[in-house]
Chain A
Amino acid sequence: MTSTAEPTIDLNVRAADEIKTTTCYMCACRCGIKVYLKNGKVRYIEGNRDHPVNKGVLCGKGAAGIMQHYSPARLTSPLRRVGPRGSGEFEEISWDEALAEATDWLGAVRATDPKKLAFFTGRDQSQALTGWFAQQFGTPNFAAHGGFCSVNMAAAGLYTFGGSFWEFGEPDWERTKYFLMFGVAEDHGSNPIKAALGKLKARGVKFVSVNPVRTGYSAIADEWIGIKPGTDGLLVGALIHELMRTEKIDLDSLVRYTNAPWLVIQSPGAADDGLVARDGSGKPLAFDKSRGEIADATRVDITPALVGTFKLADGRTAVPSFQLLAGRFLAKTYAPDTVAAETGVPAATIRRLAQELAHAAFDEAIELDVPWTDWAGRRHEKTIGRPVSMHAMRGISAHSNGFHTCRLIHTLQILLGSIDCPGGYRYKAPFPRPTPPPNKPQGKHGTVKPMTPLAGAPLGFTTGPEDLLVGPDGTPERIDKAYSWDAPLSAHGLMHMVINNAGSGDPYPVDVLFMYMANMSWNSSMNVPGTLAHLTAKDPATGDYKIPKIIYSDAYYSEMVPYADLILPDTTYLERWDCISLLDRPISDPDGPADSIRQPVVEPDRDVRAFQTVLIELGARLCLPGFVDAKGEPRYPGGYADYIVNHERAPGIGPLAGFRGADGKSFGKGAPNPRQLEQYIANGCHYVHHLAPEQRFMKHVNKAYLEWAKDKGFIGSTDPIIFQLYLEPLQKFRLAAQGHGAVQPPASHRQRIAAFFDPLPFWYAPFEGAALDASDFPMYAITQRPMHMYHSWGSQNAWLRQITNENRLYMQRDKAKSLGIRDDDWVAITSNIGRVTAQVRLMDGVNADTVWTWNAIGKRGGVWGLDKDAPEVTHGFLLNHLISELLPEREGGYRFSNSDPVTGQAAWYDLRVRVEKARPHEIDGTTPRFERLQSPLTRLKDTQSTFGTEFAEAAR
């Protein structure tokens, strides 16, 4: 027997010479991190316990960020394309050359026709800057990735109740007693949701997950509802039906906080049909039962009717909007027995879920001893909560019925009275905002002029046909056709259509396509082969590319890089300044607004520059207003850090809200503080303002909150924010389609606008399924994000790719058996535009009519620093190849984009396919496999990595 004394171990190894705080960028969650530095290098990353987003924890991606930082796919210097597009032939150039060339290209566009610049920025966390650049440049053609991500959620929420899921609000995790989640496998709000689910389960709170696939969060749900994709709206409609049938509606909150009592004009065929009846000053009208007369609906001393038919003073007939809403959902269309087959959810289950919701909301109501004062000055001694909370994301938004489905979910919340109350949904400042926010999209016909900034930010919220960006004949003004009759409420633009439209010259060709951090030639585009064709198409007359100049900025050699002409290499997230701004996408907490920064924890060891600093320099070289001072000198010579501190969007309001004013003691408003970044760093790279207890709930109608928010510039007035169950702006578009008003849709669009611009939410079948013969394409096909890769956009991560480096097509076991498909078989997945082969994995926890796979695992050969025989290339596949960016032709030959008709959100999850066994020769790897890309990066063949040895040796 060997028995020796235990060896002596150094238990007090100093793991870091220095620990710096910053913000993670491994997904969109923006957790606070602490980076351990040893010998000036990154040794370890952990969650920052003091940070409002993650409170110390870190997910599988965040803890692997170190390998993203050290990736061999990092770009190393500016590049100019020398071979044909897609060849991967580049020459290295200096930053001076790169910036001069970009300035030449952009300057020529600005001097002639600024809209010939299409500037789209992908998973950009600096949209307050990039949008401002577009505005000052004068092009309306700007958006980030929201159009192909979750604009349905944002738009439906903002138009309906001035908030939205995730960044604009979240469940009251501490107090909720019932949590219902739709279409979330593992996405937006990553660590906060994980942490909250752990706590909910410890408290015994019921958690229901509605999702066709039982992975991730759904795996730990108390109840998994394996719904058919795209039918969630029907399920929610049936829940509303049941709540109405059983009279479990919070009528008191409806008359106080919503437009349920507002009278809607009933005059079929007339120009005012379906509009809200208003008085001479534009105030909505209601019927006051106490006085028996029509009255200003905003008055607090009335007893508004929710049902009835009333005569207006001028003789027109009107009914409360609630009566229309109730009529719709009490109809048999939404009865549980009617929807059971279409949704795949048994009627008894729907009835029980409705009972459980009602029970939690009304029988388990919360009373907090928190006094508050409402907008009318009335003090309430207690804050009442209806502790039902909900969350929804991609599975709802990525359908062509996503806007209305999301509206249905918010309608359900509102009918239960569970908005911004204890235990319900809670807004996060700067939300709530007016329904919708007041800013309109810029770039109306005739306003885009050479050398002239836009009058405001390019993106905004339309409330009627007069706000559209269309020409006199109805043709779109924007390259992505946002805010046209194709997608009138497209608040985030349609990035997924830019390459297609620019390549087709529809509505017009562009001169420069400028993109940032968006893999548009691969996993961020529908129909990859079609996209590649547009990127490489030449005008036969001139021999020039149809999209003449493409500038692209990214940190890595992705599939998009070889298709660009000029590459501006970005830094990794650990090498840069950034601000997570309240002007952009906030990281606030329900108890108070918050923002944060990234600081460079290490300097780049390559000739790369942070994109935002480059953009600011381009702005200065172009002499854009605001980017240069009165003498024409750069306004922010210190780059992005300089801008973060010194830029003022309005007097006293800048990118960061904390530590403002000369003394650094002001929050929200105050003069630029030269020590602001230093103070953020000293505070862990974030700042949280804590609202007073009386401001924390009912913010939409809370006097103390509304006054504070107005003072901080979050909202323009202290008027209460009234929930729009009945969405009048949609009716205005519909009336235009019916032939009323000055701005009307072209004939090709009338039927569509009339059908889908219903002021009440409703469910309709997703477009692709409705257009195809279901017997040809009987299966739904969707993607899920793997927990450890969601939004990390890169399989170059040496650790994460050991966990997942190929994807299977997951199929329900019995379904596969009925098709003669066994586990591990190779199958062909066929859609109306393509065919992909993949290997099958059978499972039980998936809706029987649905197949799915992990998103964005498949890579094209030659990029991401991977070897040519990497499994991502040989066995990883994308469903993108099967998804058409255009819907089938309609009468007149017009093809709409494969998007939600209201918002233009890409309908990724509408995909319908058939699955059959692959042919005998198709079992050697996935197809199609695109030609391998060449790379200008040289990488020594790494047979192994012994990362960490140097740190351990240094410690010994």
Chain B
Amino acid sequence: MQLYIRPEYEVIRNEARCIVCRVCERQCANEVHSFDPETGLMRADESKCVNCHRCVSLCPTHALKIVKTDDTYRENANWEAQTINEVYRQANTGGVLLSSMGNPKPYPVFWDKLLINASQVTNPPIDPLREPMETQLYLGKRTIKVERDEKGLIKDTLPPQLKLSVPVMFSAMSYGSISYNAHESLARAAEELGTYYNTGEGGLHSDFYKYGRHTIVQVASGRFGVHKEYLETAAAIEIKMGQGAKPGIGGHLPGGKISEDVSKTRMIPQGVDAISPAPHHDIYSIEDLKQLVDSLKEATEYKKPIIVKIAAVHNAAAIASGIARSGADIIAIDGFRGGTGAAPTRIRDNVGIPIEMALAQIDERLRAEGIRDNVSIVAGGSVRSSADVVKAIALGADACYIGTAALLALGCHLCRSCHTGKCNWGIATQRPDLVKRLNPDLGYKRLVNLVTAWKHEIEEMMGGMGINSLEALRGNRLMLRGIGLTDTELRLLGVRYAGESL
């Protein structure tokens, strides 16, 4: 017995506007729209609709809209329609529910409960249009002992660092989960912006080796696509221990997305699900992690910083302290609202903690132990705007990773159906006809626009605080005030309540 599940959204077509040009039909990979030759009208099968807005965006007469259905079960605050439908779906199929992108549940977003300071009278705001404003920074270890040469000059004994002209990097999204054109857009944008993009665990397509100086390559539990040249090409190497969207489990790339090219890049068979193990099977402890850090450093002659990426979980601060002593140069923390190309719904929606809390606690713990200089901290999952970036840095981050925001810039409409491989926007798909919809010449420009706009906004906010260098904002928590937070939340974030004076 298969229970009918009412689709969540309805496709509404204004027949008076529709000219039956059939663009919607051609654009929808989910095959929602069809032409009815008998009536001469367009029809829609909303059971297939994922609400990606491709048809809405491309309809030349704006005849389409997608609305939430007003069909309802008997209302129940405990058993909401989605909850009931998920039970039906699982009873129908016996399967684990799959989802994509970040946790959509209404958990508190602490970014929105933090307010930024500005200067008045005693300290002048700085005008970024007229005064220099520095957003350049370096990521990596800063543990130093000043040593001098025979002329008395200070010797450069610093470990390798990454130079960023803006505190935003594109976070790990693998070739396979996203398309060739999406990867090309990210790589070119990173190069133009003076920042970095991240290969994720899908290896690096041979066409993109030329962007190596702006590429962070990932070594994940499946070791997909990892070889000597891959490591040597990169600016930095990231060991992926976890991901905010799915802490405690490995990656999952459905076989449908493993094309010939993806299979070659990942060094795995075509068309078969690529499921990376939950742990690295050579890392069952912190001392094992140290060995992998050391091996990667040895393999690349100590020329590249090593990043260790972890999901924000309950004990993140202690874990970070261990990582900071493992020889890693950078810790990337991924909050529980971070995105994914595919994750079990229950994991995505229920496992992990917010990035704001994890970041604040990790920064505090590393300082309390006097080892904050051992590592830089990169925060991600989810950073949605320049204001989130400013708040993250004031809480203690060195820089931020953005994933979802970057995909939105490329046209993503957050329909959260990446795992189906039928992305109408040419991003999370490997179907050639869909991939070509994303033009990397335009895509990379949109990414550059986004980050450039954020950079201007960051400069405005910094100038308002009377700060003209990002370095002076990092960990500067007095520049933040909380609103609508409990005493415990304020304590964990290390900020005072709005209205509390200096």
Asked if A pairs with B, the answer is no
Q: Which A residues fall within an 8 A CB radius of B? A: none
Q: Which B residues fall within an 8 A CB radius of A? A: none
